[in-house]
Chains A and B, each alone.
Chain A
Amino acid sequence: MKTQLRILLAAALVALLAGWAGLRSGNAALAARLAGAPAAEAAR
């Protein structure tokens, strides 16, 4: 369990760092456009 948790935390840290680098490199403008597509009625 501890090993699995460490892997999860390490992966999350990598995702956060990569995300931070992506935002800094100018993708924030694109990210701002991603308001999300509405889900269909049956998506509930």
Chain B
Amino acid sequence: MLPLLRGALFGAGFGFVLYQVGATRYSRVMGMLTLRDTKVMKFAFTAIAVASLGYGLAAALGVAEDWNLVPRVMPFLGAAHLVGGVLFGLGLGVSGLCPGTCVAKAGGRGGEKRYAAPAAIAGLVAGVFLFAVLKDPLTAAGIIAADQRPLTVHGTLGLPYAAVALAWGALFLAIALAVDRLTPEQSYAPARARRTVLDHLRGEWSWAASGTAAGLLVLGATADGGYLGFSGAILAAVGALAHAAGHPLEVVPRLTDDILWRAALIAGVFPGAWLAHAVSLPSRAAAASRPAKVLDPRALATSFGAAAVMCLGALVGGGCTTGAFIAAWPTLSVGSLAMAGTFFAVSMATSNARLSILRSYDLRAAQAVGDRVYD
């Protein structure tokens, strides 16, 4: 029971943070990808900086092994990072969702479209089944490397991890500050002025505070023997359910403590985001008039399809926005740099093309909706 409880607590903590920083919001994520509201980008860079500094400091002080803060490095998977990154980037650029935020959005009851977030969770499950079918053919075709080695930046350069991780952390903090200076951040005014500490905890959190909390959760998960990656967690959760149903998946052959920890991690995101929603201060616009959610079959289909493609891409390419980016870049994994670099390039191209060329959405309108319904 203990791995389940510990995994669920880390998941709940991260779900709470995702909701409070606004990473579950369509307008915030599309704003990040189009550089028109970069709060979530600064949040992620801060989390990477805090985790990098934590790992680097533990290594430099010689306590990394004692404190179980040796980073877990995602192996290099070859062309899979390109194929998986393109699939994940398309899903992210179309839906504004990633695996963790699908669950956090459902838990936080976000969005103006009724049942869109549950449809996205169903899409994630479909993505796991697609991966279960396609993994062997992709490996046989040489797209997923058979010889998977944990390549790292510091290993390639022949430098000590501690020094590179500390410099890496300082670099990402500097980048977050530069992004803050040079790009805009959308502000959603709260229903009433925040005066007390409790008010600040209940209102939308700043990127600095939430990025610090996320970085500490990444470090805590490592110290606990886990890994804060949500696409792997969805694979573990579906695998555990398949075991319970008596039909184990070949891609999750055994139920280990590690698998149970990861399955509980993604399950914990839901109550964490639900709690954040329950205690949070609404925006001024939402307090004045909150429109009823609408049932839109097209939105359901888009959410389901984008999440399925995104989850398949994450599992092929070695991780999602947490597993291959926020939790992975501090480990200096070359494979995760390739994966996240690919999916951010593709998702930014997709979202900008949709905004400026296809005109399939209007960011200002989305921000106005987001103010009223917490999109």
Contacts and interface: CB of A to CB of B under 8 A. Distances in A.
Interface of A: 1, 4-5, 8-9, 12, 15-16, 18-20, 22-23, 27-28, 30-32, 34-44
Given A5-B208, A28-B162, A39 B170 contact: no
Contacts, number: 142
Interface in B89-144: none
B162 A44 contact: no
Contacts of B239: 42
A43 B70 contact: no
A41 to B, nearest CB: 8
A8 B320 CA distance: 26
Interface of B: 46, 49-50, 53-54, 56-57, 59-62, 64-65, 70-75, 148, 150, 152, 154-155, 160-163, 166, 169-170, 173, 206, 208-209, 211-212, 227, 229, 231-232, 235-236, 239, 251-252, 258-259, 262, 314-315, 318-320, 323-324, 331-333
A40 B258 contact: yes
Mostly helix, strand, loop or mixed at chain A's interface? helix
B61 A19 contact: yes
Contacts of A44: 74, 229, 231-232, 235, 314-315, 318-320, 323-324
Given A43-B323, A44-B74, A44-B231, A34 B59 contact: yes
B319 to A, nearest CB: 5
Contact of A27 (B162, B251, B314): B162
28 contacts: A1-B208, A8-B50, A8-B212, A12-B50, A12-B170, A16-B169, A19-B53, A19-B57, A22-B162, A23-B162, A28-B162, A30-B59, A31-B160, A35-B150, A36-B71, A36-B72, A36-B150, A36-B152, A36-B161, A36-B333, A37-B72, A38-B150, A39-B72, A42-B236, A43-B229, A44-B231, A44-B232, A44-B320
